[in-house]
Amino acid sequence: MIGWELPPFSTGGLGTHCYSLTKRLSKYVSIFFTMPNRKGVPSYDFMEIIPIPSPSLGVGVYVTADHKVHYMSDWIPHIIDVYAKEIVKAVKNIDFDLIHSHDWLTAPAAMAVKKLTGKPWIYTVHSTEWDRSGGSPWPEALAVETEGLRNADMIIAVSNRTKNMLIEKYGIPPEKIRVVYNATEPITYRGRKYSKMVLYLGRLTVQKGLYHFLHAAKLVLEKDPNVLFVIAGTGPDEDYLINLSIELGIHNNVVFTGFVPDEEVKKLYGSASLYVLPSKSEPFGITVLEAMSAGTPVIVSKQTGVSEVIRNCIKVDFWDTRLMASAILEVLNYPSLMESLRANGYKDLHRITWEDSARKTYNVYRDVLNL
């Protein structure tokens, strides 16, 4: 498996996904997991980690040895090219049957390994450049992604929403795409719950629909000034959103937490009265499952992959701020609604498990290998 990161050395959901999936997949197959070695690699007993030499992944502006100034936009392609060059050396002495990579960052590396060994390649799409960019893709990333998707032997999409996007935007034939949903590790929370705290947790980027969320918050606060909105996480839109909350005159009821460490995430999920994922375009939306697992009811936009698999939640269109605000007020005002969503949410989670995702992934392996 060609990865990008693993906990605890991870910054995003990709690492968590790879960890949870490989842990269960290892019941069916033995796994060599490659990842760029930036600040060290973890070790696990269920698979062998193969570190690949890599430049470090910082943020912002870089100066390389040739005294050239680089921005993030050309640094990333550089790192993924290094990954592709170095991986070829590392996998020469390994015996394996297929290649499984995740997202565009690992696509060039996977393609290089396929070229070297001729082994079949499965490409899991966690998000497309269209999702990440909110509709205006970065050409470099789009090019890498498109080449990868065309060359992969089979694609796993994390939702039907993503599958459809691959068909429409990338011209991938439907029969080359399988859908395997994400799941969540159980989160237990036994502490207190706020009575009127509405949480969003995730990156602060344009595709998350936070502009509409803040407008919904304004409508909520007009009816009930005692609701607290917590927007947890960081991202490029942070300043913009803080300013927007001031413009809307709701800044006293909206808290921007900035970066939240893992142990605090659990507390936030559990202590919230309600979790909202208002995304404009979300391939999956694993935070929704995490919030449900922590015993918190959820409102989720219909433009998310996760809304395909969960039933015990309230679904609204991301742009329908009035209906979103109404749903928030309803959950906060009607205790039976909050309690029913919370209690029945666990029933969804009984169905949506990593064990199931791993079994479905293994079935894709078998199909690709004609087993």
Q: How far is the CB of 220 from another protein (least distance, A)?
A: 9
- Structure-derived torsion over alpha carbons of residues 119, 145, 107, 78, reported in degrees to the nearest 10: 150
How many whole angstroms from its chain centre is CA 257?
20
Asked if 341 interacts with another protein (CB under 8 A), we say: yes
Give me the sign of the Cα torsion angle 106, 364, 113, 89: positive
Q: In angstroms, rounded to a whole number, what is the distance separating the alpha carbons of residues 304 and 67? A: 43
Q: Which of 12, 351, 366, 369 binds another protein (CB under 8 A)?
A: 351
Q: Which of 247, 347, 355, 366 binds another protein (CB under 8 A)?
A: 347
Q: For Cα atoms 167, 104, 235, give the angle at the middle one, nearest 5 degrees.
A: 105
Of 221-250, binders to another protein (CB under 8 A) are: 223
Query: Rg of the chain over CA atoms, in angstroms?
Result: 21
- The piece of 127-135, 174-182, 321-329, 356-364 that touches another protein (CB under 8 A) is 321-329
- The piece of 59-67, 104-112, 231-239, 339-347 that touches another protein (CB under 8 A) is 339-347
Q: How far is the CB of 126 from another protein (least distance, A)?
A: 24
Q: Which of 143, 167, 265, 329 binds another protein (CB under 8 A)?
A: 329
Q: What is the DSSP string of 287-322?
A: HHHHHHHTT--EEEETTBSGGGT--SSEEE-TT-HH
Asked if 219 interacts with another protein (CB under 8 A), we say: yes
- The piece of 107-115, 196-204, 251-259, 314-322 that touches another protein (CB under 8 A) is 314-322
Q: Are 204 and 233 in contact (CB under 8 A)?
A: yes
Q: Are 158 and 282 in contact (CB under 8 A)?
A: no
Asked if 340 interacts with another protein (CB under 8 A), we say: yes
Give Cα separations from 350 to 24, 159, 181, 186, 193 (angstroms): 16, 18, 14, 10, 23
257 vs 326, beta carbon nearer another protein = 326
Q: How far is the CB of 247 from another protein (least distance, A)?
A: 22
Asked if 327 interacts with another protein (CB under 8 A), we say: yes
Three-state DSSP string of 210-225: HHHHHHHHHHHHHHCC
Asked if 355 interacts with another protein (CB under 8 A), we say: no
28 vs 319, beta carbon nearer another protein = 319
Please report, as ranges, the residues that interact with another protein according to CB under 8 A: 219, 223, 311-315, 322-323, 325-327, 329-331, 333-337, 339-341, 344, 347-348, 351
